[in-house]
Chain A
């Protein structure tokens, strides 16, 4: 486990790359007629699901380490587990929406302060529509619909394609891009179009890149 901690530390250090800052763009509003046809919340799964993803932490020179992430969602709760490739539990927690995170298990280095909150934030970005006020906007000449949510100074832009999101950008209070999610491939499961291969990039001096692949998805009845 100490070795994994070293890997994560190296990973974090290696991610301290200099990159050009990106700031919140101005986007045009959608016409009212188009507004009626688009529901931002539909870009996220509404029903209870269980997802299993492989999560590859990227490091310099292409090296990295892989874990398996499990997410169980229902109307009220988000449950998360991280496992080694062999299935041993490294971290397990759940959160009733709007309440504190309840950590069931956290082995080093996943017991570090702030890890649970950060993980839950990433998971909710993936699966739960943001709260706060909402604007429906359009990007570029192609008219890509974007749902822009504003909450406590943070802005979340959700780029829509068909009945799913394909990109999410999160900007901090300073309007600088702090986190981005980009879908590379989709898959249809049980009548639902789901991100299959995607990448989460957290920017900044403690940035990281997660390459994620959907291994299984099941509706829970």
Chain B
């Protein structure tokens, strides 16, 4: 589950990193995404679609619509995950909730202020649009070798996040329909 925490980490990091150059105060973010999965063994890449919602300080809805509907909810530090089985969302057990909460604390810090290295990643801005995150610890680098964030423009919105897991193995999320600072009903963070 640490792996998924890393995904959460990069997601928030991307937005916070993107906003670092922008005066925009992040109260909420929502966007659609298409996720492309590539592996050496695959004959065809795998695609998923979904949408995420974030409300400062610590509420998140990360939802996949296809191919396997699932929802991860964080509400005021409480993390729950649901997967749709037989047309009903069923809560998953065994998530690394403690690790999630640790990551969330880091996220909160990024959203509140400056972008800096964290305990896990070193951040490097390669150019106006590109930020590269590399793991500090070799053990973690075996799981994620690097993360590449692409910023759309001066607005700070993200275009894509690519997680490199190994040679020719990567997951790319491309974001569309991003919306900043609109009111999101609280129930979206508590109900699948």
A residues near B (Cβ < 8 Å) are 1-4, 6-7, 10, 48, 50, 52, 54, 56, 59, 62-66, 68, 70, 72, 79-81, 83-90, 92, 94, 104-105, 107, 211, 215-216, 218, 220
Shortest Cβ distance from A126 into chain B, in angstroms? 17
Cβ–Cβ contact B165 & A89, under 8 A = yes
Contacts of A54 in B (CB 8 A): 68, 83, 85
Determine which residue in A4, A48, A64, A88 has the highest number of CB atoms from chain B within 10 A of its CB, and name it: A88
Contacts of A1 in B (CB 8 A): 1-3, 96
Determine the distance from Cα of A92 to Cα of B83 in the docked complex, in whole angstroms: 23
Cβ–Cβ contact B41 & A70, under 8 A = yes
B residues near A (Cβ < 8 Å) are 1-4, 6-7, 35, 37, 39-44, 46, 48, 62, 64, 67-68, 70, 72, 81, 83, 85, 90-97, 99, 143, 163, 165-166, 169, 171
A contact patch SS: strand
Contacts of A68 in B (CB 8 A): 68
Determine the distance from Cα of A51 to Cα of B94 in the docked complex, in whole angstroms: 26
B contact patch SS: mixed
Q: Can you name the residue of chain B whose Cβ is closest to the Cβ of A105?
A: B166
Q: Can you name the residue of chain A whose Cβ is closest to the Cβ of B68?
A: A54
Cβ–Cβ contact B2 & A216, under 8 A = no
Cβ–Cβ contact A220 & B43, under 8 A = yes
